[in-house]
Structure 1
Amino acid sequence: MTMRRIGIALALIVGALALTACAAGPNTASVAGPDAAGFWLGLWHGFISPVTFIVSLFKDGVGIYEVRNNGGWYDFGFMVGVSMIFGSSGRGGGAARRRRRADR
């Protein structure tokens, strides 16, 4: 029974370390000026993120996320842009399920 407890404890420790390794840190490159990327650039970067990701696999100078941004508004715009691309298919799947249920 003690080996099982040791295994569970090890699994919990490894899980906790894995979760803390993914924690976000502060953006030390952020700027608060006219050159910082704001909401509209965040929206655009989120919208083009699938294409940018593919390009970033082959070019080192291309990144998906603008590091020099103004903080929360850029993040909000980025998430809205990403959700416009990746979040739109869920509603269509629900409608198809409802149609199949109605046909039964």
Structure 2
Amino acid sequence: MRGGGVLVAALVLLSACANQSAAAVEPGAPGFLWGLWHGFIFPWAFIGSLFSSEISIYAVPNSGGWYDFGYFLGVAVLGGGSLFSGKRKG
């Protein structure tokens, strides 16, 4: 179970990146890769947004469709992907 503890620790460290900084938005609207990242960290950003009004779960402004697609993939990979699925023993 040690690998699970390392994974949890890594995800907790990544959650520090959930805060959307103005510097990330200023050069241009976030596109696909930012959407993918924001979708991936969605669960931690959501929890953070409950405690701080400075944390958002969705970048505004964004580039529209490509950002949305990346966001969807990020959420889908974490929520519906095989990362947390167990193998059936049979």
Query: Structure 1-normalised TM-score?
Result: 0.54
Query: 2:36 corresponds to which letter in structure 1?
Result: L
Larger radius of gyration: 1
Question: Percent identity of the aligned residues?
Answer: 52
Match of 1:58 in 2: 51
Match of 1:44 in 2: 37
Match of 2:71 in 1: 78
User: Structure 2: 5+ residue runs without aligned partners?
Assistant: 1-26
Q: Distance in 2 between matches of 1:75 and 1:67?
A: 11
Which stretches of structure 1, 4 residues or longer, exceed 3 Å deviation after superposition?
Answer: none
The alignment covers a number of residue pairs equal to: 65
User: Structure 1: 5+ residue runs without aligned partners?
Assistant: 1-33
Query: Structure 2-normalised TM-score?
Result: 0.62
The CA deviation at 1:92 is: 3.9
Q: Distance in 2 between matches of 1:78 and 1:92?
A: 21
Higher helix share: 1
Structural RMSD (CA):
2.4
